[in-house]
Amino acid sequence: MDEARLLFVEDEDDLRLLVGEALRMLGYQVVSVADGPAAIQAMQDGSFDVVVSDVSMPHGVSGIDLAEHAARLQPQARVILASGFARAQLPPLPANVNFLPKPYRIAQLAGLLRGTAPQS
């Protein structure tokens, strides 16, 4: 996936910086934002191949909300939602969404981005 555009949404500053940099090193063009409203604005302003978001987010827009916005604003984009909660503890995820349990390793995220990790 050469220079795929990826929107990374994470409210924890250190994690956002660390994962964003790791994704850049893997060859992605990364736009990192801290919350749902900023992610919605980014999706309105540009096109993305992948949207990766935490499920639990501040400012009233969850990752699940973002997945629904992405389906409308970025229908071509794959959506990956990460959470420290078990998938069974979360509300139903939209059909087009891949789930990544937290904490995750960069290799797990990279595998999911390449389509080689389980998409449970």
The predicted-structure confidence for 20-73, as pLDDT tens digits, reads as follows 999 999 999 999 999 999 999 999 999 999 999 999 999 999 999 999 999 999
What is the model's pTM? 0.92
Residues 6+ apart with CB under 8 A from 55: 62, 63, 64, 81, 82, 83, 85, 90
Fill in the DSSP letter of residue 46. S
Domains of the chain in start order, with CATH, are 5-114 (3.40.50.2300)
The residue count of the chain comes to 120
Residue 119 pLDDT: 42
Q: How far is it between the farthest Cα atoms of the chain?
A: 35
